[in-house]
């Protein structure tokens, strides 16, 4: 037999059931399936889902540092971002991004007074945000610009990367509500 290997009279051939599990009944079709699967994963990763790791405490308690989430790149293909969406914002390419929450929409005026966020002069209810003592003057948003900020506002405002961002810098919406692999969750 061709696929039987013998060394010193010993047979090292895999049992038929194990060979079927490992390479299938038809190795050619198994190889085709592997090529299709690798191609599908590559396209999905490149065009639809982008992994993002949370670094820093600015999105706590909603997202914990070290957690991995996915950016759904097609989320805003047919609609515009909405207030409350957690989005990925690119700085330089897709290798360095911020993960922030949209709190201000184009044409609105945003300000912080006594730690409360005001949108067009009205207090915005933010159950996801931690308390803060920020104060900042009103900022008007031009068309196609959004105001983003992290959920952890207990830090001084100057430690936060927050502010206006243009629509073309928003990569997509964070797909999962909580971190997939949360650094504070127990390890198995």
3-state SS class at 11: strand
Burial label for 99, CB within 10 Å (0-12, 13-18, 19+), is: buried
Which residue is catalytic, options 10, 95, 100, 136? 100
Distance from the first to the final alpha carbon of the chain: 45
Q: Is 154 a catalytic residue?
A: no
CA-to-CA distance for 110 and 112, rounded, in angstroms?
7
Q: Is 179 a catalytic residue?
A: no
Planar angle of CA 173, 83, 152, nearest 5 degrees:
80
Which residue is catalytic, options 10, 55, 58, 183? 58
Kindly give the pairing relationship between strand 6-7 and strand 10-11. Answer: antiparallel
CA-to-CA distance for 126 and 55, rounded, in angstroms?
22
Give the CA-trace dihedral at 12, 15, 16, 21, to 10 degrees: -110
Catalytic residues: 58, 100
């Amino acid at each position: 037999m061709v696929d039987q290997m013998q060394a010193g009279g010993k047979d090292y051939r895999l049992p038929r059931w194990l060979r079927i599990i490992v390479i299938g009944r038809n190795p050619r079709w198994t190889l085709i399936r592997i090529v299709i699967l690798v191609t599908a994963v590559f396209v999905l990763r490149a065009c639809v889902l982008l992994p993002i790791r949370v670094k820093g405490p600015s999105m706590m308690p909603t997202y914990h540092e070290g957690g991995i989430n996915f950016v759904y790149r097609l989320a805003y293909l047919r609609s515009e971002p909405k207030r409350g969406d957690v989005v990925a914002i690119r700085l330089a390419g897709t290798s360095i991004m911020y993960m922030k929450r949209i709190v201000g929409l184009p044409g609105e005026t945003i300000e912080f007074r006594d730690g409360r966020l005001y949108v067009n002069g009205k207090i915005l209810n933010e159950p996801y945000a931690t308390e803060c003592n920020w104060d900042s003057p009103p900022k008007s948003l031009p068309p196609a610009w959004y105001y983003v900020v992290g959920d952890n506002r207990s830090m001084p405002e100057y430690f936060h990367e927050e502010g206006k961002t243009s629509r073309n810098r928003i990569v997509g919406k964070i797909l999962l509500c909580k971190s997939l692999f949360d650094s504070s969750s127990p390890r198995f």
